[in-house]
Amino acid sequence: MSASDDGADQGWVGRLSRLLGSREEEEHAALAARAANELVRSPTDIALLDAVISGMPDPVVVLDQDCRVIAFNAKAAVIAPALRRGEPASIALRMPELVEAIREAGLTGKSQRIEFSARLPSPQWSEAFVARVGLAGGEASRAGIVVITVHDLTPIRRVEEMRADFVANVSHELRTPLAALTGFIETLQGPARDDPAARARFLDIMQAQAWRMARLIDDLLSLSRIELRAHQRPDTPVDLIPIVRQVVDGLQTLARDRDVAIEVTAPVGPLMVPGDRDELTRLFENLIENGLKYGASGKRVDIVLVAAATADGTGEARVSVRDYGPGIAAEHLPRLTERFYRVDVGESRTQGGTGLGLALVKHILNRHHGRLTIDSKAGAGATFTARLPMTEKMPR
């Protein structure tokens, strides 16, 4: 290789290094524009441009002054499969807003930002940045290029929708007991002022509604605390067996009220997992209490604790809570751990549920690197199994 070739290669390497080195400091559109400005001069330059934009985290398309495609990366090909070099961009980019932004950027030289959406095959939202770049050299035939970068807004929009749904659900859940309390207070201050029997009955209902609000707020605060520590995996070794037995002892009153027998089957030795004792206690309280409330018609709840080996040889603690109640139809199973999702809204509220119990279970298990499996059929009861990684590997 000649010295001049060496110098040229080092020049390109230097330019590419400078471009890639500034990647974290520049917006994606500006970075792609700088790359195009420096590199689009020959077929070799285009190949180097391809190499640069192929590493961009977002879809990037580069057009000439006639809005024909010069280069694009693989991510751009995913959102616009019809892209072809040398063909007008309007053929492949079938979003009218984006085509108009390209035209405006070419005519005015001003950068454009637009948002657009697609509903099929699933709802998606995106924003595009369109910038016209004048090439160095001054020749009239090289009026410049247009660089398009597209950023996916779908995760942000979905979070916004989830937040809006969450606020609406919380407002609805609080509004109902508040309305009941307000109504009973007005009644006690008016027609039932001198009616001891009505007063006693209304006070019992008011107490139940106040307890419902308190439990909802407690669940919301617990969920918030767990989410704040979602990426901090607990590392304190805890034994699941005494935790489960303690929870069962605490729920014996509810079991007697529902005429349900609880059977616990556990190994003789400890079942150790790295975990947060308080969160695991809350997890098993929710699972076992659900079994007692919604599976009461079966008159029995079985709890089984076992140690098992996974496919990779690591140990896994499994705690199954099995009820013999009415079961859950298959179409409800994928959504059971969503916040405020209920199979039967009326039954859930009658039982004092907040709609957040299984969401708490899921988030606690996620923090512990565990998972929840649900096996149920309508009319055949339900089994909820919490699976948690153990502190030691299982012997093969």
pLDDT tens digits for the chain (396 residues)? 444 444 444 444 444 444 444 444 345 555 555 545 544 456 666 777 778 788 888 899 988 878 888 888 888 888 888 888 888 888 888 788 888 888 888 888 888 998 888 776 677 888 889 988 766 554 434 457 888 899 888 888 887 877 777 777 778 778 878 888 888 888 888 887 888 888 888 888 888 888 888 888 888 888 888 888 888 889 899 999 999 999 999 999 989 988 999 999 999 889 999 999 999 999 999 999 999 988 878 889 999 999 988 777 778 999 999 999 888 888 888 888 888 887 876 666 666 677 888 999 999 999 999 999 999 988 888 999 999 998 765 555
Q: In degrees to the nearest 10, what's the CA dihedral of 243, 244, 250, 255?
A: 180
Task: Report residue 121 as tokens.
Answer: 């095959």
315 contacts 390 by C-beta, under 8 angstroms = yes
Pairing of strands 315-323, 371-376: unpaired
145 contacts 151 by C-beta, under 8 angstroms = no
Q: Looking at residue 28, what is its pLDDT?
A: 53
* 63 bridge partner residues: 69, 146
- In one letter, which amino acid is 15? R
Strand residue runs (E) in the chain: 60-63, 69-72, 112-118, 124-133, 145-152, 237-239, 261-265, 272-274, 300-309, 315-323, 371-376, 382-389
Q: Looking at residue 321, what is its pLDDT?
A: 95
Largest CA distance in the chain: 107
Burial status of residue 359 (CB atoms within 10 A of its CB: 0-12, 13-18, 19 or more): buried
| DSSP string for 331-357 | GGGGGTTSTT--SSHHHHHHTT--S-H
- Measure Cα distances from 233 to 28, 226, 315, 368, 389 in Å: 34, 11, 17, 6, 12
Burial status of residue 122 (CB atoms within 10 A of its CB: 0-12, 13-18, 19 or more): exposed
- Measure Cα distances from 329 to 290, 340, 343, 379, 382 in Å: 16, 18, 9, 9, 10
Distance CA 295, CA 382 (A): 8
Distance CA 76, CA 85 (A): 13
At 243, which helix (H) or strand (E)? Answer: helix 240-250
Q: Looking at residue 244, what is its pLDDT?
A: 95
Distance CA 98, CA 88 (A): 13
| DSSP string for 99-112 | HHHHHHHHHH---E
Non-local CB neighbours of 373 within 8 Å, separated by 6+ positions:
384, 385, 387
| DSSP string for 155-205 | HHHHHHHHHHHHHHHHHHHHHHHHHHHHHHHHHHHTTTTT-HHHHHHHHHH
Query: From its phi and psi, is residue 149 left (phi > 0), alpha (psi between -120 and 50) or beta?
Result: beta
Distance CA 396, CA 179 (A): 60
* 116 bridge partner residues: 126
* 389 bridge partner residues: 316
Q: Looking at residue 120, what is its pLDDT?
A: 65
